[in-house]
Chain A
Amino acid sequence: MTTPTRSAAGVADPSESGVGGGTASPVGKRRWRPRPTGALGFRIGVGLLVCYLLVAVTSYFWTPFDPLGVGGDVLVKPGMPYLFGTDRLGEDVFSRTMAATRYDLLITVASVCLALVLGTVLGTIGGYYGKFWDGAIMRAIETFNAFPTLLFAMLIVSAVGPGILNIIVVLAFVGLPSYLRLARAEVLSRKTWQFAEAARMVGCRSWRIAFRHLLPNSIGPLLAFTAVNAAWVALITASLGYLGIGLQPGVPEWGSMIANGQDGIITGQWWVSFFPGMAILGMTGSLYLLGDGLGDRFDPRRRR
């Protein structure tokens, strides 16, 4: 049918909007027409993330001032030469913000990749092989999900001690259940599809079917979720840094920078905490936009 089985979305609120061109020009009352905006968000997200990556890499070679160097002018307002001002110890906020990009980005990317790989493998196994493995894994997952995420991270990190590697592993562990569940759900829903049957008939062994055939088709929604999860991880990393748990003191990290600037807020030196926060916003915001864009692209119900 030419008529989509969905209803007229525009009826919900027909308001004025521009009209499109075409072979013949439209007549009558102008009605709202749907316009895709997802693509723009996706591009902004990707663009911003690339910038962050560049900043992180650049910070290894060059920052305006030494991010760890103390002794400069204390608590200077933003301007030249200190673009973001300086903090209580005389360190340049801009340089520290740049340097902190390394750590926050590294931790986020590393733990997400780790969780993605492990979670997907385990989830695929659970979904495909079913019964015992599935049940066992799912019960464990439900138990882990009972902990609010930050609290769980707090608990484990405070137990295992500070350090970048520790944080990466802990955050990967905390994020694992979600990937597992997603991968399992995707595989389960496709397990009975025709091509899996076909592969079975041709004689492929189980694990080949699971990983070579089913998984690639499930990747889309998984990737979309990864972006959102990465945003979450970035926030938790910053939160742990703010609370003073996890990284060694002195290492520039956005969360701990905000904590350092906290006293300054009351006395009016807003810049020490403000800029790292904007840096976090930029990263998590672009990750969310990326996730939304990917989600739209892989959404099976998308109007093409």
Chain B
Amino acid sequence: MSADAAVTPAARRRAPAGDAILEIENYGGYFSTSTDHAPTLKGVTYSLARGAITAIVGETGSGKSLTALSVLQIQPASFVRTSGRILFDGQDLTELDEQALRGIRGARISMVFQDARAALNPVFTVGRQIADVCRLHQGLSRKDAADAAVAALRLVHIPDPERRVRQYPHEFSGGMAQRVMIAMALVCQPELLILDEPTTGLDVTIQAEIIALITELCRETELTTCLITHDLGVVAETCDYAVVMRRGEVLEKGTCEQVLTAPRHEYTQQLLAASRLVENA
């Protein structure tokens, strides 16, 4: 992530002016297992513009992942919601029942997690896992689903997909496994893709490749993307909008340029200074 290219990456086109596909309003809660029940999330409010890449930035403990998990309603069972709601295309996800949520997960909203090799089932082939998702949401036949799995691997630029589709997760490197996860997340063409620190723990060069892949895929299909990260370089390189969180609160949000070049909050300024990104005047 070169410093000069930081704020005006060539890959970015003009910031899309879409309406919000996802709106998180005043979301708050605490963990029932904590001794004092101190609020872990406090009035989190942000929205994701349709077709744009939004970055959620924050350090460990900021609540960015927890909020993301809440979108799909897969947050830990010990988390108790005290306020707020999450609107997806007008529907409040916190009020939906399990069956409706299952229809949304993987089909309309997909999520990619950090440790891809741990996130894939070790006893099933990669192809089987992707095909399972297809058959679940699209009702494809076994053969069609298998073909879709191969196509999905090809989409994420995995070489020799026909052979690799029959391999197990432990036979993939970290970067390759992450590609597989992305393939699985995109195979049913969701409207919203959430990536929770997809590159943390990977080698730097691999990180760049994965980010480039994500950017390419999202731009091509105008997929709304939510990229959770603590790496400001990534934010600068790829994102249209940015939301900064700390300790369960949203500190600032706006277009990427705005947040990175003219941060209003002191914390954001500290983050920028620490990341050694050079701001364009």
Find out whether A and B make contact in their complex, taking CB atoms under 8 A apart as touching: yes
Name A's B-contacting residues (CB within 8 A): 1-11, 14, 19-29, 31-34, 303
Q: What band does the interface of chain B fall in when counting residues whose beta carbon is under 8 Å from A?
A: 20 to 34
Q: Contact partner of B74 among A4, A5, A7, A27, CB < 8 A?
A: A7
Q: Which of the residues A3, A8, A26, A33 comes within 8 Å of B82, measured between beta carbons?
A: A26
Q: How far is the CA of A32 from the CA of B32 in the complex (A)?
A: 11
Q: Which of chain A's residues have a CB closer than 8 A to the CB of B32?
A: 20, 22, 33
Q: Counting CB contacts under 8 A, is B94 at the interface? A: yes
Question: Is B94 within 8 A of A10, CB to CB?
Answer: no
Q: Please, which residues of chain B bring their CB within 8 A of the CB of A31? A: 77
A19's nearest neighbour on chain B, judged by CB, is B80
Q: How far is the CA of A32 from the CA of B40 in the complex (A)?
A: 19
Q: Is the CB of B60 within 8 A of A23?
A: no
B63 neighbours in A (Cβ, 8 Å): 2
Q: Which residues of B contact A22 (CB under 8 A)?
A: 30, 32, 37, 80, 82
Interface contact B94-A8, CB-CB below 8 Å: no
Tell me the nearest residue of chain A to B119, going by C-beta.
Answer: A7
Q: Are A23 and B65 in contact (CB under 8 A)?
A: no
Known: A32-B77, A303-B33. 11 other contacts (CB 8 A): A1-B60, A2-B63, A3-B69, A5-B115, A7-B74, A19-B80, A20-B32, A20-B37, A21-B37, A26-B81, A33-B77
Could you say which residues of chain B place their CB within 8 Å of the CB of A5?
115
**B2 CB within 8 Å of chain A:** no
Please give, as numbers and ranges, the residues of chain B lying within 8 Å of A11 by CB-CB distance. 73-74, 77
User: Is the pair B76, A10 in contact by a Cβ cutoff of 8 Å?
Assistant: yes
Instruction: Check if A3 sits within 8 Å of B65, measured CB to CB.
Output: yes
Query: Which of A3, A14, A23 is B76 in contact with, Cβ under 8 Å?
Result: A3
In the docked arrangement, what's the CA distance between A49 and B71, Å? 49
Q: A1-B60, A2-B61 known; A9 and B77 CB under 8 Å?
A: yes
Is B221 interfacial (CB-CB < 8 Å)? no
Q: Which secondary structure characterizes the binding site on chain A?
A: loop
Task: Determine the distance from Cα of A127 to Cα of B60 in the docked complex, in whole angstroms.
Answer: 39
Give chain B's interface residues, CB within 8 Å of chain A.
Answer: 28-30, 32-33, 37-40, 60-63, 65-66, 69, 73-78, 80-83, 94-95, 97-98, 115, 196, 248
Taking a contact as CB atoms under 8 Å apart, the answer to whether B83 and A24 are in contact is: yes
**Contact in complex: A8, B75 (CB < 8 Å):** yes
Interface contact A23-B75, CB-CB below 8 Å: no
- For A3, give its contact among B30, B66, B73, B95 (CB under 8 Å): B66
Judge whether A34 and B74 touch: CB under 8 Å: no
| Chain B residues whose CB sits within 8 angstroms of the CB of A6 once the complex forms | 76
Are A34 and B95 interface neighbours, CB within 8 A?
no
* Partner pick for A27 among B37, B83, B115, CB 8 A cutoff: B83
Q: Is the CB of A33 within 8 A of B28?
A: no
How near does chain A come to B80, taking the closest CB pair, in angstroms?
Answer: 4
Q: Which residues of B contact A26 (CB under 8 A)?
A: 29, 80-82
User: Are A14 and B98 within 8 A (Cβ)?
Assistant: yes
Interface centre among B32, B60, B95, B196 (most CB of A within 10 A): B32
By a CB distance below 8 angstroms, the chain A residues around B69 are 3, 8
Q: Which A-chain residue is minimally distant from B37 (CB atoms)? A: A22
From A8, A9, A14, A19, name the one whose CB has the most chain B CB atoms within 10 angstroms.
Answer: A8
Which of these, A4, A14, A24, A32, contacts B39 with CB under 8 Å? A24
**Are B95 and A24 closer than 8 Å at their CB atoms?**
no
CB-CB under 8 A from B37, the residues of chain A are 20-23
Instruction: Tell whether, in the assembled complex, residue A25 and residue B65 are in contact, meaning their CB atoms are under 8 Å apart.
Output: no
Q: In the assembled complex, which residues on chain B have CB atoms less than 8 Å from the CB atom of A20?
A: 32, 37, 80
By the criterion CB–CB under 8 Å, are B77 and A25 in contact? no
Nearest-CB residue, chain A, relative to B61: A2
| Shortest Cβ gap from B116 to chain A (Å) | 13
A10 to B61, CA, bound (A): 22
CB distance from B66 to the nearest CB of A (A): 5
Smallest Cβ-Cβ distance to A33: which chain B residue: B32
| Chain A proximity of B244: nearest CB distance (Å) | 16
Give which listed residue, A10, A21, A23, A28, contacts B95 with CB less than 8 A: A28
Q: Closest CB-CB distance, A288 to chain B, in whole Å?
A: 26
Are B80 and A2 closer than 8 Å at their CB atoms? Answer: no
| Contact across chains for B76 and A8 when beta carbons are under 8 A apart | yes
Cβ-defined partner of B40 (8 Å) among A2, A25, A28: A2
**Could you tell me if A28 and B77 are in contact, using CB atoms closer than 8 angstroms?**
no
- 6 nearest interchain CB pairs? A10-B77, A22-B37, A24-B82, A3-B65, A26-B80, A20-B32
Question: Which one of A1, A3, A24, A34 lies within 8 Å of B77 (CB-CB)?
Answer: A34
A25–B77 CA distance with the chains assembled, in angstroms:
16
When the two chains form their complex, are residues B76 and A25 in contact, meaning their CB atoms are under 8 A apart?
A: no
Residues of chain B within 8 A (CB-CB) of A34 are 33, 77-78
* 6 sampled A-B residue pairs with Cβ under 8 A: A2-B66, A4-B76, A11-B73, A24-B28, A29-B97, A33-B32
Residue of A nearest to B74 (CB): A8
Contacts of B39 in A (CB 8 A): 23-24
Complexed CA–CA distance, A250 and B78 (Å): 57
Q: How far is the CA of A3 from the CA of B94 in the complex (A)?
A: 18
| Contact in complex: B65, A28 (CB < 8 Å) | no
Closest to B33 in A: A303
